[in-house]
Chains A and B, each alone.
Chain A
Amino acid sequence: DIQMTQSPSSVSASVGDRVTITCRASQGISSWLTWYQQKPGKAPKVLIYAASNLQSGVPSRFSGSGSGTDFTLTISSLQPEDFATYYCQQANSFPFTFGPGTKVDIK
């Protein structure tokens, strides 16, 4: 299985801050990387697919980059509704494994 790691595991930030989350795959996955946001008690919601493509309806303050093994999710200006847990998922080979998550909370 491809192992996914994320850093940091948690980050405390303020509204307006720029936040960057890193996801690393244990082997190359080309651009087959998706980012999700999950709020407590809710199902995850897709933000970015194929590493850098913004899902329809997702605010443009979210962006993704990377290919191969290293990827980043950036929130350019954190908004109150962005406090949540963020997961990456690889879809290069089955099982499509998730990263352990990064919790973004209020500073």
Chain B
Amino acid sequence: QVQLQESGPGLVKPSQTLSLTCTVSGASISSGGYYWSWIRQHPGKGLECIGYIYYTGSTFYNPSLKSRVTISVDTSKNQFSLKLSSVTAADTAVYYCARFEVMTSGIDSWGQGTLVTVSS
């Protein structure tokens, strides 16, 4: 059973960089067939796709965030990471890491989510 766990600071100051890591257990990021994803949910709102990475390092970023987002993968640690620069209060959200299955084109596993608040 694959499990994903987000980790990182819960509070980030405006203009700084938000950094989160997702540790995957029960499956290998290098096995292929999946995109490893970051998705966020603003308080009381819907879901927003931030971006995806394949184990080869290929990335897809949401154009609305592309200038500020970097997603990377460390296959040796079975982790992938999110960096979002120049954050503002509008980036306050619950951030989920997730596994997107290519064959079904759906997200079959999610982390529990971590609330990141942007505030001075």
A-B contact count (CB 8 A): 58
Report which of B47, B51, B64, B104 forms a contact with A44, defined as CB distance below 8 A. B47
What class of interface size applies to chain A in its complex with B? 20 to 34
Q: Is the CB of A95 within 8 A of B63?
A: yes
Report which of B49, B52, B107 forms a contact with A36, defined as CB distance below 8 A. B107
Q: Which residues of B contact A1 (CB under 8 A)?
A: 63
Interface size on B, residues (CB 8 A): 23
Q: Which residues of A contact B110 (CB under 8 A)?
A: 43-45
Answer whether residue B9 sits at the interface, using C-beta atoms and an 8 A cutoff: no
Contacts A34-B107, A95-B62 supplied; 19 other A-B pairs, CB < 8 Å: A34-B104, A43-B110, A50-B104, A50-B105, A50-B106, A55-B106, A55-B108, A87-B46, A89-B47, A89-B106, A94-B60, A95-B60, A95-B61, A95-B63, A96-B100, A98-B48, A98-B49, A99-B46, A100-B46
